[in-house]
Amino acid sequence: MPETPVKSVYVGVDLGGTKILAGVFTPQLKLLASAKTSTKADRGPKSVFERISHVVRDAVDEADLDIKQVRAVGIGAPGSIDPEQGRVIFSPNMPGWVDIPLKKEIEKQLDVPVFVENDGNACTLGVHVAELGGKPRNLIGIFIGTGIGSGLILEGRLYSGFNRTAGEIGHMILEVGGPKCGCGNKGCFEALASRTAIFRRIHSAVKDGQKTILTDLLGADLSDLRSGDLRKALKRGDKLVEKVIEDAAEYTGIAVGNIINIVNPEYIVLGGGVIDALEDEMMAIIVETAKDYAMAGAAKGVEIIASKLGDNAGITGAAVLARDSAKG
Ligand SMILES: [Zn+2]
């Protein structure tokens, strides 16, 4: 049996507010094994560092490999990131995450080079390289989950902007004076179409006495509500859920239309938990609305598609980051 060469694999980590995923990839981006743990962000950064290192080791072990065979680790982290220093400058959904030297801390624990990027950027990188073969020159990724992450590939490269904060599509204002967003503004795309926003609207409608199958499925307080439940409700013709999802899809379409007018990319790729669960219900409305809002001729030939990477977009993109950064 041929011996596995030393330092031959890459690990991609998707650090989220509620869970951490790690995947072991070959240089050709074949996923060998993965592992998952909860983030327990409320325990503070130090505990999260340990959980990241632990889940990386678990994934490597699951692949029957040794941490010594890992050439580099890439981490997609939420919030504003300084990729050069590998620092998390600020992460709104992670208590205590202000100016955190994530790269340094994980390198100390694993003794492997670590590279850090914003999670939306990492997911976009994953879609661009692993799903579309790196071909599109210009591509925008939009990932709708608890929040809305996104990334811009312009002229073949991840675009981070003057202060490295570019691509915050989730905080584009779509409704002046609209619902409050986690960023402090009102009416952001994220406050109108993220899973959090969708759930908030359903909860308040139920409080106002509107009827939905969801209360039969989950009880009056809807405490266990998940994206998959929305799908079940839609299949059974639930009018409330239909309206809320239609509105979220329409806001997403408006955002996509704006992007087409500003950037005019070849591809706009949508992903994240909400799109994964509700692709059939949302994509047609998103595409139609985007075309309505785009300037005449601007949307012609622009591909607006759902990513096939699903939950693996983040780990895949983080592995691409690790692979391509370790090269240089
Ligand atoms: Zn916002």
Domains plus CATH for the chain?
9-124+312-327 (3.30.420.40), 133-307 (3.30.420.40)
> Using the 8-state DSSP alphabet, how is residue 138 labeled?
S
Distance (angstroms) between ligand 1 centre and the Cα of 52 equals: 27
Edge-to-edge strand order for the sheet containing 87-90? 80-82, 87-90, 98-100
pLDDT band at 200 (very low <50, low <70, confident <90, very high): very high
Mean pLDDT computed over 7-16: 94
297 Cβ neighbours under 8 A, 6+ residues apart: none
Distance (angstroms) between ligand 1 centre and the Cα of 167 equals: 12
pLDDT band at 95 (very low <50, low <70, confident <90, very high): confident
Structure token pair of residue 101:
């030297």
Distance (angstroms) between ligand 1 centre and the Cα of 181 equals: 5
Distance (angstroms) between ligand 1 centre and the Cα of 174 equals: 10
Mean pLDDT computed over 259-263: 97
Please state the pTM of the whole predicted model.
Answer: 0.93
Average pLDDT, the chain: 94
CA separation for the pair 109, 112 (Å, rounded):
8
Distance (angstroms) between ligand 1 centre and the Cα of 171 equals: 4
pLDDT band at 113 (very low <50, low <70, confident <90, very high): very high
Distance (angstroms) between ligand 1 centre and the Cα of 28 equals: 36
User: 157: which strand partners?
Assistant: 154
Distance (angstroms) between ligand 1 centre and the Cα of 183 equals: 4
Q: How far is CA 271 from the centre of its chain?
A: 7
> Using the 8-state DSSP alphabet, how is residue 132 labeled?
T
Q: What is the structure's pLDDT at 2?
A: 55
Please, what is the Cα angle at 69 between 65 and 73, to 5 degrees?
Answer: 105
CA separation for the pair 172, 170 (Å, rounded):
6
Structure token pair of residue 189:
């795309």
Distance (angstroms) between ligand 1 centre and the Cα of 151 equals: 16
Q: What is the structure's pLDDT at 163?
A: 83
Q: What is the structure's pLDDT at 4?
A: 52
Q: What is the structure's pLDDT at 169?
A: 95
Task: To the nearest 10°, report the CA torsion of 86, 91, 94, 98.
Answer: 70
CA separation for the pair 90, 157 (Å, rounded):
24
Mean pLDDT computed over 297-306: 96
Q: What is the structure's pLDDT at 88?
A: 95
CA separation for the pair 104, 267 (Å, rounded):
35
Classify strands 80-82 and 87-90 as parallel, antiparallel or unpaired: antiparallel
Q: Which residue has the tokens 């692979």?
A: 323
Distance (angstroms) between ligand 1 centre and the Cα of 26 equals: 37
CA separation for the pair 41, 285 (Å, rounded):
35
251 pLDDT above the threshold of 90:
yes
Distance (angstroms) between ligand 1 centre and the Cα of 112 equals: 35
Distance (angstroms) between ligand 1 centre and the Cα of 265 equals: 23
User: 144: which strand partners?
Assistant: 148
Report which listed range, 15-19, 142-146, 251-255, is most confident. Answer: 251-255
Q: What is the structure's pLDDT at 120?
A: 95
Q: Which residue has the tokens 């980051």?
A: 321
Q: What is the structure's pLDDT at 325?
A: 94
7 pLDDT above the threshold of 80:
no
Structure token pair of residue 309:
């990477």
Distance (angstroms) between ligand 1 centre and the Cα of 169 equals: 9
45 pLDDT above the threshold of 80:
yes
CA separation for the pair 41, 137 (Å, rounded):
37
The identity of residue 242, as a single letter, is E
Distance (angstroms) between ligand 1 centre and the Cα of 114 equals: 29
CA separation for the pair 320, 29 (Å, rounded):
8
Distance (angstroms) between ligand 1 centre and the Cα of 180 equals: 8
